Amino acid sequence: MTQHFIVVGGGMIGLASALGLRRQGHRVTLVEQGDAPSYSDETELRVSAIAHHSRALLTELGVWQNLPAERLGPYTAMEVWDHDSFGRIAFAANEVNQTDLGAIIENRVLETHLWQAAADAGVELLAQTAVQNHKVSTDEVSVEAGGQRIRGDYLVAADGVNSPLRQAAGLPLTFWDYQQQGCVAVIRCSQPHNGCARQVFLPTGPVAWLPLADPHHVSLVWSADTEFAQQLQQLDDSDFIKQLQAVSDQCLGQLELASTRAYFPLRMQYAKRWLQQRLILIGDAAHSIHPLAGQGANLGFGDVHDLLTVTATEFTSAELRHWERQRKVAAVQMIATMESFKRGFGNAWPVPKLLRGIGLRLADRIAPLKRALIKSALG
C-alpha cells in the first residue's frame, strides 16, 4: 500500500530518502527551509568521503552515474600516521581487490543532483519553506509550513544535527562535546595527491587532506581542540598555512589556501529514540559523529538503505522498530570506534604513544589484519 511521506530537510540524507521512497511508488513531499541546491565552478568547502555501500545506494537511485566526473575524487590509497611517534599505516585499494576505497564529493554537488533526480521522479519539493510545527498521532502526521498544513502518513525528520523536529518532539539525546572544532578549506598542493587520502594525528586532533578531482587540490579537515582551533581562527592566511605546512610532514609539498576557511563545532550526539509513533529520525537528526573517519553521511545513507528495505512492501510498526534497533547498533558501534581513535591518538603520554606506534607498524605489516582494517575503512 502506498503511503504519503513528508520529509523535512533537503540535505543529502533527506533527499536520498525522498527519492528512494518515491521510486517505491509512495507519495513524497520534501520541505526544505533553504534554497534548492546549486553549485558553481568553484570547489565547495564541505565535502564527504563516500563509502562503497553509500555509492551502491546512490547508483541504485540513478544519481551516482550522473555526477560530473570532474567533481569526483576517487581515492585509491590511504595513509595514516602519528605526528609524534614512528607509527604509520598505508592502505591501497588493490590489497582488497578494489579499484578504489571510495570517492570524495562536494556535498552541494551531490545535493544538487539528488534534488534534480527527486524532481524528475515526482517528489513534491518545497524549497524556502520552513516547518514551523508538526503533529504526530497514531494514524496520521501533519506539518505547518509556508502558511499551509500538509497531512501525510509518516514524517521523516532529516533536518540535521540541531533537528527542530526532534527537539519539538522532546526526544532525548545522549551527547558529549568533543571540545574540538573542525576547520575546512580547499588547499592547493605543489605535489600531486595521487588519489591518496592522508591523515595525521596530532595530540590536539587529526588533520586530513582528502584528494579532489584536480590532482593538485585537496580538501582540508583539521579537527582541533577548541582553544587551539580558536588560535588557528585568529591567524591570517599566511600564518595559518605555515602552521599547516609544519604539521603536514611535507606529504604534499608546498601548500597554499585556495578558498576561505570555515569552522564547525564537533559534537557526538545520538537520539535515544529514533521513532515516535509516525515520526522517524534519520541522518544527523538521529546521530552525529567525529569527522575523523569521514563516516557521518555514510551512516545516514545506511539509515536510508535499511529504511527503504522496510518500506519496499507493506510494513508494520514492529518492522520500523526493528529498523530503529538495527540502526542504533550501527551508530553506537561507529561512535565507539571514533571515540577509541580519538582517545588513543589524543594522548601525548610516552607509553600510549609507544603502543600506538607499535600497533600501527604491526597492523601495516600483518597482511590479514591490514586487510580487515581496509575492509572496515570501506564501510
State the residues that interact with ligand FAD by CB under 6 A. Answer: 8-14, 31-34, 48-49, 107, 130-131, 158-160, 164, 182, 184, 221, 264, 283-284, 291, 294-298, 300
Kindly state the smallest distance separating residue 293's Cβ from ligand FAD, in Å: 8
47 vs 89 by CB, closer to ligand FAD: 47
Kindly state the smallest distance separating residue 291's Cβ from ligand FAD, in Å: 4
Amino acid at 125: L
Cα distance between the two ends of the chain = 33
Number of residues in the chain: 379
81 vs 301 by CB, closer to ligand FAD: 301
75 vs 345 by CB, closer to ligand FAD: 75
For residues 281 and 9, is the Cβ–Cβ distance under 8 A? no
Kindly state the smallest distance separating residue 204's Cβ from ligand FAD, in Å: 16
130 vs 251 by CB, closer to ligand FAD: 130
Reported in sequence order, the residue ranges of 97-247 that DSSP labels E, i.e. its strands, are 102-106, 124-126, 131-136, 141-145, 148-152, 154-157, 173-189, 196-202, 205-211, 217-225
* Grid cell listed for 120: 524528475
Beta partners for 219?
Answer: 186, 210
Kindly state the smallest distance separating residue 338's Cβ from ligand FAD, in Å: 11
164 vs 195 by CB, closer to ligand FAD: 164
Which residue do the cell numbers 517528489 mark? 123
Nearest 5°: phi and psi at 312? -65, -30
Q: Residue with CB nearest ligand FAD?
A: 11
Beta partners for 265?
Answer: 181
Kindly state the smallest distance separating residue 210's Cβ from ligand FAD, in Å: 7
84 vs 264 by CB, closer to ligand FAD: 264
278 vs 353 by CB, closer to ligand FAD: 278
How does DSSP assign 16-27, residue by residue? HHHHHHHHTT-E
Kindly state the smallest distance separating residue 80's Cβ from ligand FAD, in Å: 14
Query: CA-to-CA distance for 290 and 335, rounded, in angstroms?
Result: 8
Kindly state the smallest distance separating residue 161's Cβ from ligand FAD, in Å: 6
Those residues with Cβ within 8 angstroms of residue 152's Cβ, 6 or more apart along the chain or in another chain:
3, 4, 5, 6, 27, 29, 140, 141, 142
Indicate the angle between helix axes 317-345 and 350-365, nearest 10 degrees. Answer: 110
